[in-house]
């Protein structure tokens, strides 16, 4: 999987969590320092990025909500 696809799933998951999709603000959000992390916290949200075969699955969660975005490559 490419770094672009990984970054895209992180931003897509964050936008879905916030309920706003890929707005200009989401697209401008810099997640580059997390590009190689499987688990990280940003804006008090918990992210999990998993690579499974040709897929990248990303979740953005708080205590009671999970949103997954999976994109095959």
Buried b (16+ CB within 10 A) or exposed e, 23-34: eeebeebebeeb
Stretch 4-8: mean pLDDT, rounded?
90
d(CA 21, CA 3): 20
Please give the pLDDT value at position 43. Answer: 92
Could you report the per-residue pLDDT of 15-28, keeping only the tens digit for each? 998 998 888 888 89
Query: pLDDT, tens digit, for every residue of 15-65?
Result: 998 998 888 888 899 999 999 998 899 999 999 898 888 888 888 988 655
Label residue 43 left, alpha or beta by phi (over 0 means left) and psi (-120 to 50 means alpha): left
Mention every residue, 6+ apart, whose C-beta is less than 8 A from residue 25: none
Tell me the whole-structure pTM to 2 decimals. Answer: 0.80
pLDDT top residue among 20 and 68: 20
pLDDT at 71 over 70: no
């Amino acid at each position: 999987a490419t770094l672009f696809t990984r970054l895209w799933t992180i931003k897509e998951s964050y936008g879905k969590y916030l309920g706003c999709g890929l707005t200009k603000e989401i697209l401008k959000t810099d997640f580059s320092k997390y590009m190689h992390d499987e688990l990280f916290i940003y804006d008090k949200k918990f992210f999990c990025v998993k690579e499974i075969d040709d897929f990248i699955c990303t979740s953005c969660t708080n205590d009671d909500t999970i949103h997954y975005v999976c994109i095959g490559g």
